[in-house]
Amino acid sequence: MSNENLMEILESLDRRVGELMESIKGLKQERIKLQEELKESNQQRDDLSTQLATSSETRSELRERIEAIINKIEQMES
């Protein structure tokens, strides 16, 4: 193998390594972006879960108050 062929092979390898490094860099950036999106989605899910729990508690309290009012009205009619 001549020096010229060896240099071509090394240059080709160097280019390929550079391309792979760029791909890795891009994949790392994409991973960071996806991790941030996942974190935001998890936070939104937690917020919605809290809102749902609060709404359920409020509905339960309202139901109890309405039942109490209905009972008072029924007692007044008796």
In the numeric block, which tokens belong to residue 45? 């899910």
Q: Residue 57, CB half-sphere, CA atoms under 13 Å: how many?
A: 6
pLDDT of residue 12: 96
The stretches of the chain forming alpha helices (DSSP H) are: 3-77
pLDDT of residue 75: 93
Q: What is the pLDDT along the chain (78 residues), one digit of tens a residue?
A: 788 899 999 999 999 999 999 999 999 999 999 999 999 999 999 999 999 999 999 999 999 999 999 999 999 987
For residues 8-35, one letter each, b for 16 or more C-beta atoms within 10 angstroms of the residue's C-beta and e for the rest, the string is: eeeeeeeeeeeeeeeeeeeeeeeeeeee
pLDDT of residue 41: 98
| Distance separating alpha carbons of residues 44 and 42, to the nearest angstrom | 5
pLDDT of residue 77: 87
